[in-house]
Amino acid sequence: MKFSIISLDDNSAARTGLIKTDHSKIETPVFMPIGTNGVVKTILPSELYEINTNIILGNTYHLFLRPGHKLISEAGGLHQFMNWNKSILTDSGGFQVFSLAKLNNISNDGVKFQSHIDGSTQFISPEISMEIQQSLGSDIIMAFDVCPAAGEDKTIINNAVDQTVKWINRCNNYIENHRSLYNWNQCLFPIVQGGIHHDLRKKSVDQMLPFSKCGIAIGGLAVGEEKNAMFDIISLMNEVLPKDQPRYLMGVGRPTDLVRAINLGIDMFDCVLPTRNGRNGQLFTSQGVINIENSRFKDDFNSVDKECKCTLCNNYTRSYLRHLFNINEMLGLRLASLHNITFYMNLMQKIRIIINENRFDNWSKSFLNQFSNDPRM
């Protein structure tokens, strides 16, 4: 994997760049739609290609439990299994082990947990996480880390930082001693932890940098901490992380948060927000978020967003989409999800153009001011 910086904004830390994997070229800043179980919910790969999606995210924990990484490997890897010919980044499964699984038990060896699906006892270690991700054929592999919850005692967060550095050593050793199963390169991203504590974040960065050969991730944010505290840490990361590698902010996805983070030098994002909100009738538009099930849209025969050219906005009205949601028609979920992902893809494209034109600082202030009273944005 290679990363090159294309342009820098003069009045902020915003930048555009290009990531090259063996599967695709990815312009940054980039938003990666979530394909947790090997599918971006309700959306066809061909529809993602049409809106210039060049990378999606899959999840090690979920694919390990169902259908199993060995079956996916037999199919030729996740790209072949889901008929996706662009890049794939896979989360290590660490966050899901701690957030979804029951009765997780952390040791130096790894994590023993009960599956959230059937209660069966499972175990994932750094080596097993790497084995799974190599079997999936991910272009970008995430290190197995410990992600403590927001509000945890500083001692617990420090222990998580210490455990994470032990595990990145083991992840790296596994990758170096086990060749890829496929004819493309796979790149390992370490993950910086440390909660909202500056000293622990700096400590984690120092520990992760020796393993940061092609990119680095910022984990443990957007887990319940105050918004200002989150951006304080992102600002710190801009000061201490390498400038010549992509920075991936994990799990942050509100449009205004993306703009603020890009202002602080972040290159990569992922979040379930566009698809999850879409399935619940919340649509992102150039004028803010609308809830399509609201009665005021019953006889609204306008498109959802006049500035959008997605399948929904080109062909259907707000009234019709509301009708689909009222009758629990799957087409409504599909159209709303595709619209929201299109909104995110268009927003990222617009931001890249604005950064290249050295207008990001002024534009971002206007954007944030426009939606300052809409917490859903």
Q: What is the pLDDT of residues 300-313, one digit of tens each?
A: 999 999 999 999 99
Are 88 and 199 part of one and the same domain? yes
Please report the pLDDT score of residue 100 as a whole number: 61
**CA max distance for the chain:** 63
CA 124 to chain centre: 21
Q: Which amino acid is at 236?
A: L
pLDDT given for residue 103 in this prediction: 63
Do 98 and 245 belong to one domain?
A: yes
- Tens-digit pLDDT profile for residues 60-78: 989 999 999 999 999 999 9
Closest CA to 163 of 140, 141, 147: 147
Q: Does residue 208 carry a pLDDT above 90?
A: yes
Decide if 345 is inside a domain: yes
**310 within domain boundaries:** yes
With 90 as the cut, is the pLDDT of residue 317 above it? yes
**Does the pLDDT value for residue 198 go beyond 90?**
yes
List Cβ neighbours of 174 (8 Å cut-off, separation of 6 or more). Answer: 126, 127, 130, 131
Same domain, 238 and 346: no
The answer to whether 73 and 123 have CB atoms below 8 angstroms apart is: no
* Exposure string for 282-293, b = 16+ CB within 10 A, e = fewer: bbbbeeebbebe
**Which of 250, 271, 292 is where one domain is finished?**
271
Across the strands, what pairs with 3?
A: 19
Residue 11 lies in a domain: yes
Task: Mark whether 265 and 315 lie in a shared domain.
Answer: no
198 and 344 assigned to the same domain? no
Percent of the chain with pLDDT over 90: 89
* Residue 5 pLDDT grade (very low, low, confident, very high; cuts 50, 70, 90): very high
Q: Are residues 126 and 219 in the same domain?
A: yes
Q: What is the pLDDT of residue 7?
A: 98
Q: Any residues with CB less than 8 A from the CB of 71 and at least 6 apart, and which?
A: none
3-class state of residue 201 by DSSP:
helix
Confidence of residue 319 (pLDDT cuts 50, 70, 90): very high
Q: What is the pLDDT of residues 323-333, one digit of tens each?
A: 999 999 999 99
- Catalytic positions are 91, 270
ω into residue 45 within 30 of 0, thus cis? no
Is there a single domain that holds both residue 237 and residue 289?
A: no
Residues 112 and 20 in one domain: yes
Single residue among 214, 247, 271 that ends a domain in this structure = 271
Residue 27 Cα distances to 18, 55, 206, 249, 338, angstroms: 5, 10, 28, 16, 20
CATH for 144: 3.20.20.105
Q: How many domains does the chain have?
A: 2
Residue 198 sits in the same domain as residue 322 = no
Residue 173 clears pLDDT 70, i.e. is over it: yes
Q: Do 199 and 75 share a domain, yes or no? A: yes
Is residue 377 domain-resident? no
User: Do 350 and 326 share a structural domain?
Assistant: yes
Q: Which domain holds residue 213?
A: 2-271
Summarised one tens digit per residue, pLDDT across range 65-112 is: 999 999 999 999 999 999 999 999 999 877 776 666 566 788 899 988
C-alpha 3/C-alpha 25 separation (Å) is 10
Tokens 């009765």: give the residue.
103
Residue 247 belongs to some domain of the structure:
yes
271, 296, 325: which is the final residue of a domain? 271
Q: Are residue 258 and residue 189 in the same domain, yes or no? A: yes
User: How many C-beta atoms lie closer than 10 Å to residue 83's C-beta?
Assistant: 9
Q: Quick check: is 146 in a domain?
A: yes
At 297, list the tokens.
Answer: 């849209």
